[in-house]
Chains A and B, each alone.
Chain A
Amino acid sequence: EVQLVESGGGLVKPGGSLRLSCVASGFTFSSFSMNWVRQVPGKGLEWVSAITNSGSSVYYADSMKGRVTISRDNAKNSLSLQMNSLRAEDTAVYYCARGGSGWYLGPSAYWGQGTLVIVSS
């Protein structure tokens, strides 16, 4: 069974940093691209970032470019999102989602349960 479990969310002050993690199981992690998608409570989905299976290519939404870094450790089946200079508008549930195989960003057939990030003083 494919499982994606996020952690690392919480309350952080504006301008602060947070590192989100996602641990994967039930599939060959190193074979798939991975995504981060966020959702402000009560609002729509926003794609945040993606990384290819090898980690050789990374992609970011303009709204977070320069403030976030996506990375992965295929040996540990883990995905991370380092977020810096956080703003109130970054408050959202952050989902880890599996992408396509290899370099292919692909649709997301599997999602974690999400981790809530609250940016507030």
Chain B
Amino acid sequence: EIVLTQSPGTLSVSPGERATLSCRASQSVSSSYLAWYQQKPGQAPRLLIYDAHDRASGIPDRFSGSGSGTDFTLTISRLEPEDFAVYYCQHYGSSPGTFGQGTKVEIK
């Protein structure tokens, strides 16, 4: 089973600043089958990035994903008020499709 470890647990950022979130896998993620999701309170998760770096439909270009193998990054270039939320990474190349524990992006 691939274990995904996200860091930091909480990120305090001011609106307009850049946020960099990390997701590290315990073993290589095949074919970069890694996704990033955003979740706000009381809502279902929203897919942001798939295949490590492809933006999902309708996702603003301030969100970008990078990485391969065991190290992946989600970057939000300029935080908007609506971006303060919890972010999860997930691998889906094989079962079980584990999630990271999440990174909360909060207003500084």
Interface residues of A (CB under 8 A from B): 35, 37, 44-47, 50, 59-62, 95, 99-100, 105-109, 111-114
Contacts and interface: CB of A to CB of B under 8 A. Distances in A.
21 contacts: A44-B88, A45-B45, A45-B90, A45-B102, A47-B99, A50-B95, A60-B95, A60-B96, A62-B96, A95-B45, A105-B94, A106-B50, A107-B35, A107-B47, A107-B50, A108-B45, A109-B50, A109-B56, A111-B44, A111-B45, A113-B44
Nearest to A48: B96
Given A95-B44, A111-B44, A113-B44, A105 B97 contact: yes
B17 interface: no
Interface residues of B, number: 26
Interface of B: 1, 33, 35, 37, 39, 44-47, 50-51, 56-57, 88, 90, 92-102
A36 to B, nearest CB: 11
Given A44-B88, A59-B96, 8 more contacts: A44-B99, A100-B92, A105-B95, A106-B50, A107-B47, A108-B45, A109-B56, A111-B45
A57 to B, nearest CB: 9
B102 A44 contact: yes
A45 B1 contact: no
A46 B3 CA distance: 12
A22 to B, nearest CB: 12
Contact of B47 (A44, A46, A108): A108
